[in-house]
Structure 1
Amino acid sequence: MSWHNAQDPMPGDKRSCDALELVIVPRARDLGGFSVRRALPSAQRRMVGPFIFLDQMGPAHFAPDTGIDVRPHPHIGLATVTYLFDGEIMHRDSLGSAQPIKPGALNWMTAGRGISHSERTPPELRARGAALSGIQAWVALPEDKEETEPAFEHFGAHLLPSIIGEGKAIRIIAGSMFGASSPVKTASPLFYADVAMEAGSSFPLDPDEERALYIASGTVEIAGESFGEGNLLVFRPGDRITVKAVEDARFMALGGAPMEKPRFIWWNFVSSSKERIEQAKEDWKSGRFALVPGDDEFIPLPDFGG
């Protein structure tokens, strides 16, 4: 999905949990019947492991003949990770991929040296109106893989391992957890999971190098403190943390090894080099990115600074 202007997330109170480094509170932006909360990047925390961008899309319900229309736009130096709770999005890219994504499935697009793509509500859903809710993340690529060939992979929900029991359902989107591993091949060590919990259940978060939870719905408790929907909780490395569900809750668990050096981000471009981002700007402005077959529109280069 393309970067859009949004208010910066606000820092929250740290609370009393010793393992909790930061609470980031995204502010919702209405994009015309469709709200987005951006948790990363923020002024307080640019990345968690390789995760450099995290948006919650919706929940929304579109009236008939409406939907999302993210016109073709470019990316470099990252992988986009699209995961839905509800609804459907049609992905098309400059490699010729045309893939609808549905709840519980995964679209993993590696931009590498450059790719363009669009994301739209499919015509049949647009005609009757449909719900949409989900998360899009961007994962920065290691410096030695930033210029890799672009690629796209889709994994149906049945291909992502699920662990169900003791009042919770965990779908492992990427990486490994509780002895199960996702089939997704990542460019650097990371983990990413969708965790749905019934009230009263608990979830252990292991002491990875960098780790966080994004609460999509409900309320959880950690070390006696409660945290609700729309909070990104960033934890220090250290002891295992126990997350308890105060009520039915759903969150994304994410993290991994930090990048070897800081990343620059401008619009939809991520790189370890400012010069490479300037080149990408000129390439998109001059029409040197490959186009998306079957989708003739595009988003012009924005005029905001960076």
Structure 2
Amino acid sequence: MAVLGRGVAKPEPDQRETPWRDHRVSEPTIPLRHPAITDRAENPDAGPPADAANLVSLHESIAALLASRGQYRQAYQHLRSALDLMSELSEPPQIPEQFRREVDRLRREHAEAHEQSIRDSLTASYNRRYLDQRLVDLVAEQGRADGLAVALVDLDWFKQVNDTFGHLVGDRVLQRVVELLQQGLPEGGFCARYGGEEFVLVLPGVDRLTAVDLAEAARARVESYAWSSLVLGLRVTVSVGLAHEPAVRVADDTPRAPERQLREADALLYTAKQSGRNAVAYLLDGKAHLAGAAAGRRAVTEPRTTAR
């Protein structure tokens, strides 16, 4: 250590090894705006540089790779970057047909992936995920309509169908029941698989009487279908619990309204089952009733009490 005037020591250079300072690893990046664009702006008479065109091609290739992995958001970002580069390097932008087709393909694949994520793979009806999401939206929209009805549909004695005729026939029965349930739905209405052999009919913008008629018509279609055309001796019926909320009630307590309505439909489904099956049960003036031909039955089991 060298000594300076007045006893002040001059520190010697640090001799400790620090190899990382000279060997930093930089992550590869793809610029979203190429330097050539800046040069182009300063010199508009110059032609488009080749390296910028290569960058556009690179963005397209990365987009295709990301799309093949299902990473559509990142793929769109790279396609958008490629389009921005092309639009700034040419007047007007000359978009290759291949690029247009790539964008259309990505859009289609994204739409198909979304559709598959909300559909039941066996019956092609909507799944529970879509039901939960859509019910919340419908509840928020019903303030201006007549109300919202939810019908919980369960196949009667379906285990016996599987045990007697096999699961392949059971699958075909489920598919055909969905086709029958989806007929005659009001605008915005849909059918969703709730689980197993249970389905939900969502009927927006209808009053109580219309909802009962729609549910009873669906039940009758299932009962009257020629099930023997699938396999000799097959008979299928459904029981339905129908819960209707008027617009004023639906708009109140929005976050809990769908759950509350499904619980009421489930309780009324129990009523339909215990009252002989193959029936639609609904509430009128706080009392359970059966619709259609089942209305003449003497004993109607009251629904189980549900927390409101």
TM-score by length of 2: 0.21
Larger Rg: 2
TM-score by length of 1: 0.21
**Greater strand share, 1 or 2?**
1
